[in-house]
Amino acid sequence: MQENNTLPITINKAETSRLDQVDFENLTFGNVFTDHMLTCDFVDGKWQTPVIKPYGPLTISPGARVFHYGQAIFEGMKAYRDEQDDVWLFRPEENFLRFNKSSKRLAIPELPRDVFFEGLLTLLRMDKNWVPKGYGNTLYIRPFVFGDQVGVSAAPSGTYKFMILLCPVKAYYAGDVKVLIAENYSRAANGGVGAAKAAGNYGAQFYPTSLAKEKGFDQIIWTDDCSHQYLEEAGTMNVFFRINDTLITAPTSDRILDGVTRKSVLALAEREGISTEVRKITVSELLEAAKNKSLKEIFGAGTAAVISPVSGFGYKDDFFELPSQEDSFAKRMKKSLLDIQYNISKDPFNWTLKV
């Protein structure tokens, strides 16, 4: 895919770069930011001219409605540097479409395409040197928008701020994870905002996840809000189950995020001749598959973690360790994805965009 720049953007460059102050070998995910950030305000019923300026704090009223009613959504993307020092984005169109889908669900004005793409590409070109080289190293991209009108009346904000931050990162998870199947908590409910990347979705996960961590688990596999019998997502990721040689993942819904990595895994699996099923899967089916040894793998799929294999899962008082697989679908999918993202192999899907 290609993008052409036509949008006026106000640019205020940083006087000096902080690049030489960063230890790229010891990065904590999401804690280090590049020299610049993008901001764009929604005022008087329209989005204004985007501004790129040095990264720094904001001045915002404590009465801003985002603090009181949670009108905030975000996206997660990455930029990848190949061996020729070119930088690539992966399926940014999907992120843009989902960004506006999330905005609409939270009564936030949709963002014009040129503001999103031209703002992002201009920012990336300015901070291109921050994109780390090396397989597994990336520049994490965080577009977000929040309501900043002052007032504590329960109504949508009349003004908004759109921003993009950039963070050089290494792997999100260092190794395999252990997960606990939720018995009482759900990530989202029917008719709710589970299909949106709403900030509140993630804040609500922290407490049940902390309870799981007290028991020695890394994350939760969420179950449905009514019966707690249908498996939905794993932590902040979509989740795949390999039973025999079939990959199974839950269908998207009001409760389940339409993940970009999820869709990519399904497309890659189909290309590689791996059987896939997009359908509901129950806790009892998973337990039976674990007991009869037909359950071969579980892995999470998401932008931050890419593919995160699960070493075992807990349910009630039982723990099921998963066997090591020589022909691991998780490893195959991760390699296929990363090879496209780092421009190592051809992109037959036209997923990548050169910055």
pLDDT in tens, 236-291: 899 999 999 999 999 999 899 999 999 999 999 999 999 999 999 999 999 999 99
The reply to whether 67 and 183 lie within a common domain is: no
Is residue 159 domain-shared with residue 182, that is, in the same domain?
no
Write down the pLDDT at residue 125. 98
Contact at 8 Å (CB) between 186 and 223?
A: yes
- Residues with Cβ within 8 Å of 211's Cβ and at least 6 positions away in sequence, in order, are none
**Where are any strands of DSSP class E within 244-294?**
246-249, 275-278
Q: In which band, very low, low, confident or very high, does the pLDDT at 4 lie, cut at 50, 70 and 90?
A: low
170, 194, 211: which is the final residue of a domain? 170
Which of 135, 170, 205 represents a domain boundary (last residue)? 170
> What is the domain extent for residue 100?
10-170
Residues 223 and 155 in one domain: no
In a domain, 327, yes or no: yes
Q: Regarding beta strands 231-234 and 237-243, do their DSSP bridges make them parallel or antiparallel, or are they unpaired?
A: antiparallel
How much is the pTM?
A: 0.95
Residues 187 and 157 in one domain: no
Residue 139, in any domain of the structure: yes
Last residue of a domain, which of 115, 145, 170?
A: 170
Q: Is residue 354 part of a domain?
A: no
Q: Taking the CB of residue 279, how many other CB atoms lie within 10 A of it?
A: 9
- Tell me how far apart the alpha carbons of residues 7 and 203 are, in angstroms, rounded to a whole number: 35
| Whole-angstrom distance, CA of residue 198 vs CA of residue 205 | 12
Residues 190, 335, single domain; the answer is: yes
Burial of 120 (0-12, 13-18, 19+ CB in 10 A): buried
Indicate if 138 and 244 belong to the same structural domain.
no
In a domain, 109, yes or no: yes
In the chain, the percentage of residues whose pLDDT exceeds 70 is: 98
270 shares a domain with 299: yes
Count the domains in the chain. 2
How many other C-beta atoms are found inside a 10 Å radius of the C-beta of residue 260? 24
Q: Do residues 162 and 14 both lie within one domain?
A: yes
Instruction: Look up residue 30 and give its DSSP letter.
Output: T
Give the CA distances from residue 352 to residues 130, 134, 223, 283, 338, in Å, rounded to whole numbers and listed in that order. 19, 18, 33, 36, 11
Q: Cα–Cα distance between 150 and 193 in angstroms, integer?
A: 24
Q: How far apart are CA 99 and CA 313, in angstroms?
A: 32
Kindly state whether residues 314 and 223 are assigned to the same domain: yes
CB 143 within 8 A of CB 95: yes
Q: 194 and 158 in one domain?
A: no
* pLDDT single digits (tens) 304-327: 889 999 999 999 999 999 998 888
